[in-house]
Amino acid sequence: MKTKTSFTRSRLIPGIVIIVTGLLIFLLFAINTQPQVTSRFGMNISASSEAIQIPDLVVPAQTGIYVLALVTVFFGAWQMARGIRSTGALIGIVAFSFVASFLIWATQGKSFNMVGMLSSSLVRATPIALAALCGVISERAAVVNIGIEGTMLLSAQAAVISATVSHNLYVGLVVAILTGGLVAAFHAFMVIRFKVNQIVSGVAINIFATGATSFISSRYLEKHTDLFNNSGTFPIISIPLLSKIPILGPVLFENSLVVYLTMLLVVVLQVVLFYTPWGLRTRAVGEHPKAADTLGIDVFFVRYVNVIIGGMIAGLGGAYFTIGSVGRFDEVMTAGKGFIGLAAMIFGKWNPVGAFTSSLIFGFTDSLQVKMQILGTPIPSEFLLMAPYIVTMIVLTGIVGRAMPPAADGEPYEKQ
């Protein structure tokens, strides 16, 4: 067959990219690293943590980066010569080497709390994951909800106001979830009943939410902070025994309620979507609504329920911003997390577990950016702040793992 050329090329280009990455590691980091200097990575979140203390990881900076650069070049050469089957593994190796050498370079001569960063990655991934789960559950039923950002913003404000007024964080949580459900119900009503273009409706929700929350903020919250906008936050709950495991303990089992709920939701949604009648129907409605209709499934009902449940999940995500982390509302505090969540959903191939895993990548980027500012790298903080957005755009190009959305995604269903 003459198709051989294209196979060779498909092997060659990634190979070259990997080798270039290896060289970049060398040029950017290895050259700028002092010999004899070490990088210290903290393996305990803090002295007060319940986890069993373990020694820190100390890496000789320059040697470490040289090794990583060599490993990368080696894999690039391997790819060019023989080809590596799994694209995922390939990208994983390259991304790991690059990030690891970046960290070693940035930490040289200093100390960097690794476990602290992993822990904050999970926390920072939480709102993104919730937005992504909202997207998954709606889009599996073929309703695109681009208004997640606005939904979270409204819920965040509703949560903090109700929690402050009632002096009860759980009231805030419930109100946030209900607000999310209400906004999503509005979206569902618009796109299902009135066949409004799904993206237009979502954008309208975002604009409305920005206006409404800013309006309430400047009308009430700014003047009466203690009355309305000072709720406190959910405490950290340590899970007995499990939280004692080194590294994993502080990262996974010393968190606040919202984080635990998120992890629980991931599992529940995965099971519901693929092992229950409701999940089967949801996916059928997302793939081929007409077929579902001919089998007596109420397409509209399935869509309403999924979108509203999705909205409630986004509402929980909104609660994270206020009562889950800082205890007060600031204007436009969601800062694009809703959209990043949508990217995580796409990258996660419309699966709850996949969406959560890719949210962790974004959470990691986000938390890395914060830690880098603390470490004081020569990169301006504004550029570090761009990192999550740039990663989102890269993910969306589909260079890494492209998946097909549900076949009917975004299309209104016309019942004759």
Partner 1 sequence: MPVLELKGITKAFPGVLANDHISLTLEDGEILALLGENGAGKTTLMNILYGLYKPDEGEILVRGKNADIHEPNDAIRCGIGMVHQHFMLIPVMTVTENVMLGIEPVKNGLFLDREKVARRIREISEQYGLEVDPNAYVKDLPVGTQQRVEIIKVLYRQADILILDEPTAVLTPQEVEGLFKILHTLVQKGKSIIFITHKLKEVMAIANRITVLRGGRSVGTVLPAEMNPEKLASLMVGRQVSLVVEKAEAKPQGMTLEVKDLFVRDDHGNLVVNNITFEVHAGEVLGIAGVQGNGQTELVYSLTGLLPSLSGTIHVAGKPIQNTSPRHILEQGVAHVPEDRQKHGLVLTFPIHDNMVLCTYYLAPFARGVVLQEQEILATSEKLAKQYDVRTPSVFVNAGTLSGGNQQKIIIAREFSRPIKLLIASQPTRGLDVGSIEYIHNRIIEKRDEGTAVLLISSELDEILALSDRIAVMYKGQFVDIVPAASVTKEYLGLLMAGIKPENAPAAPSGQRTIEVDL
Partner 2 sequence: MTEKPIQPKKEEKAPASGQIRQALLVPALAVLTGLIIGAIIIIITNEKAATAYGNFFGDPLAALFASWEAVATAYGSLLVGSFGDPGKIINGLGILFSTGDSSKFIRALYPLSESLVTATPYIFAGLSVALGFRAGLFNVGAEGQLFIGTLASAFVGYSLVGLPWFIHLPLAILAGALGGALWGAIPGYLKAKTGAHEVVNTIMMNWIAFRLSDWLLNGPMKAPGFRPITPQIETSAELPRFFADPLRINWGFILALLAAYGVYWLLFKTTIGFEIRSVGLNPDAARYSGMSIVRNTVLVMALSGALSGLAGTAHVLGVDRWVGQGFSAGYGFDAIALALLGNSHPLGVVLAALLFGTLRSGATRMQSMAGIPIDIISIIQGLVIIFVAAPAIIRWLYRLRNIKSDTTVMVRGWGK
Residues that bind partner 1 (CB under 8 A): 1-3, 6, 275-277, 280-281, 283-284, 287-288, 290-297, 407, 416
Cβ-based nearer residue to partner 2, 47 or 393: 393
Residues 363-401: b if buried by 16+ CB within 10 A, e if exposed: bbbbbbbebbeeeebeeeeeebeebbbebbeebeeeeee
One of 125, 204, 307, 319 touching partner 2 (CB under 8 A): 204
CB neighbours (10 Å) of residue 402? 10
| 115 in Cβ contact with 308 (< 8 Å) | no
Which of 20-28, 68-76, 308-316, 381-389 is the region at the interface with partner 2 (rule: CB under 8 A)? 381-389
Q: Is 386 in the site for partner 2 (CB under 8 A)?
A: yes
Min dist. Cβ of residue 398 to partner 1 (A): 13
200 binds, among partner 1, partner 2, none (CB under 5 to 8 A by kind): partner 2
Min dist. Cβ of residue 380 to partner 2 (A): 5
Which positions from 145 to 164 touch partner 2 by CB under 8 A, shown as an x/- string? -x------------------
Exposed (0-12), middle (13-18) or buried (19+): which is 58, by Cβ within 10 Å? exposed
348 residue type, one letter: G
Of 264, 265, 262, 304, the residue nearest 281 (C-alpha): 304
Q: Is 382 in the site for partner 2 (CB under 8 A)?
A: yes
1 binds, among partner 2, partner 1, none (CB under 5 to 8 A by kind): partner 1
What one-character DSSP code corresponds to residue 56?
P
Residue reference for tokens 């577990």: 353
Phi/psi for 238 (5° steps) reads: -95, 130
One of 171, 405, 412, 413 touching partner 2 (CB under 8 A): 405
295 binds, among partner 2, partner 1, none (CB under 5 to 8 A by kind): partner 1
| 90 in Cβ contact with 289 (< 8 Å) | no
Helix or strand (DSSP H, E) at 255: strand 254-256
Beta strands in 47-129 (DSSP E): 57-60, 111-113
User: Could you give the angle at which helices 4-24 and 61-81 cross, rounded to 10 degrees?
Assistant: 170
Cβ-based nearer residue to partner 2, 53 or 381: 381
**Residues in region 85-144 near partner 2 by CB under 8 A:** 144
Which positions from 170 to 189 touch partner 2 by CB under 8 A, shown as an x/- string? --------------------
Instruction: Give the residues lining the site for partner 2 (CB under 8 A).
Output: 144, 146, 190, 194-201, 203-212, 214-215, 218-219, 335-336, 339, 342-343, 346, 380, 382-383, 385-386, 389-390, 392-393, 396-399, 402, 404-405, 409-411
